[in-house]
Amino acid sequence: MKITLVNPPNPDPPPSYYGPHYGLSLLGAILERAGHAVSGRDFDLWREDAMLAQLPAVLRVEAPDLVGISCLSSNRHIVLRLADVVKRLSPKTTVVVGGPFATIEPGFLLDRCRADLVCIGDGEETLRDLVEALAAGRSVARVRGLALRRGKAARRTRSREPFLAVDSLPYPAFHLFDVARELERHRRPEAESLAGPVSAAGRRCLAMHSALMVLGSRGCVYRCLFCPMSRFRGPVRRHSPEYFVSMVEHLCRTYGQRHMVFGDNYFTLDQDWAAEIAGKILERRLSLQWICMTRPDSVSPGLLRKMGEAGCREIAYGLESGSPKVQRLIGKRMKLERVRPALEATREAGISSTLMLMVGNPGESRRTVRETAALCSRLEPDRVLVHTTKVYPGTALHDIARRQGVIPPGFYDQDGHQAPPYTGEHSLAELKSLKEMLPPRTLYLRAGAGCVNGCCGLRKPPAAPRPAPLDRLLALASLRAERVVLGGGEPFLRKDIPDILEKGRTLQMHGLWFYTTARPFAGPASRRSLMGGLLERALREDVARGVVVPLFSDDPKEHDERSLVSGALLQTRLGMTRWRNAGGDLHAWAHLTRGNVGRLAGWVQWMADHGVSKAAFLFGGSPACWGAVPWKDLPGMLEAARALEALLPRAGSLGVAVSAFGIPECLLPDDKVPHEESRCVFDETLPPTGEPVALGALRRERFKEKPRACRECGANDLCEGVWRGYLALAGDEEFHAVG
């Protein structure tokens, strides 16, 4: 028989390409081994209309007897339309739908499209038996693991047990899809090669954007509520290390590909198995670079060293929450005391770490998010992914959400591709507020005109290594953080600012910000036009996102030399009308002083008038160690705290989000005014060596200390303490323990 396997478009495609659809490639290999003619079409990164326009030619040229379509919940409506178009253009072609959503909702698909059959569960034996039955003219009703129509109703055939003989399978037939072209098209050679190994410790984030994904196992022993495995009752099935490494070697030789994703849900569930795989990779000298995913309480220093030697470059650790309560409620049951040692051992093994977190699981609250932030504040992962908990079909959480009305009847008839957030315990606004307590990383990179690429606050040692070029630091920053701020001076006075923006475009950066006085925008008209045009294009192409402007006075006429922002410039709305009209955001770092602390309401009114959407009020230094007010010019910290708290109603009415920096929570609780220190626990700066420095650790170790009251304080885990310079002048009488 002639069979065409189709991976439909993904409505929300990922930024990385990890090869063709693994399941379809495996099914294609099985059918080829059985003697059938198989072709594949991977439309994953296509638009739906482009796929449908291509479909008549595909059916005309290949004339398939059977079309197999993979279905996820996110592309279910695309699959419905695809199946109908295939049946309309080629009525005699048998259309079979399989995949995760098809397994969970076979009746939904059969009721709403002209597909003939739905494959339920593992398809290796089911599809092979189905094709043999069709080829022989036998009834498909005897094939186990199917759903089919009988009149107007959907009926299931006998169920099929999970497939156990995984080592009997052929290697996935990636050749059915245009894998070589796609792998090359999605490479990010600029970022991956420029970033390079930046220190002896190898602390860098590989973040592969083009690789082949392979699976060594199926299933999991845990039943986390949010995971499809929470409803799977079969055993964990693993390839033998010999089979798995032989498959990897075959793929390396066949496709000349040395980047691999070991896509197991839980790669080190059996640490001996993982170690044997690493050992065989070394024995065969495969020269791989690979990434994997596991739990931080399921690794050891010895295993990590061996994995690093075998080419492991990044491990994604599923932590989800740092709260014991949430861990218990979601079924994760992590040994949290093992998280920090695991990430330290990962770093020592020369492997990058990605920390995966979720906000909004059952049992989540401000307290549990703070517990997560406190645990993470000393972890220093290379990359951080923070997501709001979503409800996916087939999970235990889906059952809970359906009972609570989060998933109402008829929900999947809506033509939307996004899984809904879990709102069984919090509204969408409350979930947003909780997620804002754990924002993604911001990386600050000094790139001012005439400065050495480094970090204010870090003195260069006498024998410091030669600074890395800015393009290399940009590449590393693009792999480590979603938000990168260039500053530490005036970046827009650099002659190479067009090159920087072009480099950001090449590196596919999407969150580039600038710390700027905006003075360049008040220069000659020709320069204003040039800068405005450059930034407008950067915004339009989703490279740049916004600017941060430092302010030292509430009166534009009284700005001192540190600010460099003239009153005339501010009167013209910071000279950035084109920026904001193009969608750019404008934030302010407002330094508190004795002179302005009593006039904050007027200051925030002025900011609102000039387009500022967020104002961080800074006491002492700044989050990036760029710019500071002398200790003698500061107001009392308690006075500043009361002034900020009193400002909130006014700021809220003006639409300006207010946060604080440098004031401990005993004087200004985070639930009243968000604190940069207790929320931005992943933020870093990038000195000239290219070795990232965690800003929280830098402040704790070099600039702050904890007063006596901190020892008994309930907020101690997240509090960085108080500026030493302020304590030396004012003492510690203002501070007290909180519950």
pTM assigned to the model: 0.90
Q: Which residue has the higher pLDDT, 206 or 348?
A: 348
Alpha carbons 143 and 587: distance in angstroms, whole number: 63
Question: Among the residues of 293-390, which ranges form H helices?
Answer: 301-309, 324-330, 339-348, 366-376
Residue count of the chain: 739
Q: Is it the case that residue 197 has pLDDT exceeding 80?
A: no
Specify the pLDDT at position 530: 61
Nearest to 27 by CA among 63, 75, 70: 70
- Written in H, E and C, the secondary structure of 127-139 is HHHHHHHHHHCCC
389's tokens: 């908990």
Contact 475, 507 (CB under 8 A): yes
Can you tell me the mean pLDDT for 360-387?
94
Phi-psi region of 208 (alpha: psi -120 to 50; beta: other; left: phi over 0): beta
Specify the pLDDT at position 377: 92
The CATH number assigned to the domain with range 442-730 reads 3.20.20
CA 724 vs CA 168, 706, 721, 727, 730: distances in Å: 66, 9, 9, 5, 10
Specify the pLDDT at position 234: 74
Nearest to 263 by CA among 215, 210, 196: 215
State residue 577 phi and psi, 5-degree precision.
Answer: -60, -45
2-156 against 442-730: fold identical: no
Range with the poorest average pLDDT among 74-83, 97-106, 464-473, 545-554: 464-473
The full set of domain ranges for the chain reads: 2-156, 211-435, 442-730
Q: Which residue has the higher pLDDT, 573 or 579?
A: 579
Specify the pLDDT at position 690: 81
Specify the pLDDT at position 553: 85
Using one digit for the tens of pLDDT, what is the confidence trace for 391-425?
Answer: 999 999 999 999 999 999 999 999 888 999 999 99
Nearest to 299 by CA among 281, 276, 321, 272: 272
Which residues, 6 or more positions from 447, have their beta carbon under 8 angstroms from its beta carbon?
453, 470, 486, 487, 488, 489, 491, 494, 500
Coil vs helix vs strand at 338: helix
505's tokens: 């475009």
Specify the pLDDT at position 566: 38
Alpha carbons 330 and 360: distance in angstroms, whole number: 11
Using one digit for the tens of pLDDT, what is the confidence trace for 554-567?
Answer: 876 654 344 434 33
Specify the pLDDT at position 277: 98
Measured at the CA of 14, the angle between CA 11 and CA 16, to 5 degrees, comes to: 145
Residue 366 pLDDT grade (very low, low, confident, very high; cuts 50, 70, 90): very high
547's tokens: 């600017």
Residue 208 pLDDT grade (very low, low, confident, very high; cuts 50, 70, 90): confident
Write the single-letter amino acid at 230.
S
Q: Distance from first CA to last CA of the chain, Å, rounded?
A: 72
Residue 454 pLDDT grade (very low, low, confident, very high; cuts 50, 70, 90): very low
Residue 142 has a CB neighbour count (10 Å cut-off) of 11
- The secondary structure element, H or E, covering residue 156 is strand 153-156
- Kindly state the DSSP code that residue 707 receives in the 8-state scheme: -
Question: What percent of the chain has pLDDT above 70?
Answer: 88
Specify the pLDDT at position 199: 42
The CATH number assigned to the domain with range 211-435 reads 3.20.20.70
Using one digit for the tens of pLDDT, what is the confidence trace for 174-192?
Answer: 999 977 777 777 666 555 5
Q: Can you tell me which residue has the tokens 């710019």?
A: 627
Coil vs helix vs strand at 353: strand
Hey, which CATH number is domain 2-156, 3.40.50.280, 3.40.50.720, 3.30.565.10, 3.40.50.1950? 3.40.50.280
Alpha carbons 732 and 713: distance in angstroms, whole number: 14
Which residues, 6 or more positions from 378, have their beta carbon under 8 angstroms from its beta carbon?
340, 696, 697
Alpha carbons 455 and 458: distance in angstroms, whole number: 6
Task: Tell me what the pLDDT averaged over the chain comes to.
Answer: 87
Contact 104, 169 (CB under 8 A): no
Coil vs helix vs strand at 503: helix
The upper half-sphere exposure of residue 304, i.e. CA atoms within 13 Å in the direction of its Cβ, equals 26
Residue 672 has a CB neighbour count (10 Å cut-off) of 14
Alpha carbons 356 and 379: distance in angstroms, whole number: 12
Contact 490, 447 (CB under 8 A): no
> Which residues face 661 on adjacent strands?
618
Specify the pLDDT at position 456: 42
Residue 106 pLDDT grade (very low, low, confident, very high; cuts 50, 70, 90): very high
Dihedral angle, C-alpha 317, 327, 73, 183, nearest 10 °: 0
Q: Can you tell me which residue has the tokens 């196992």?
A: 217
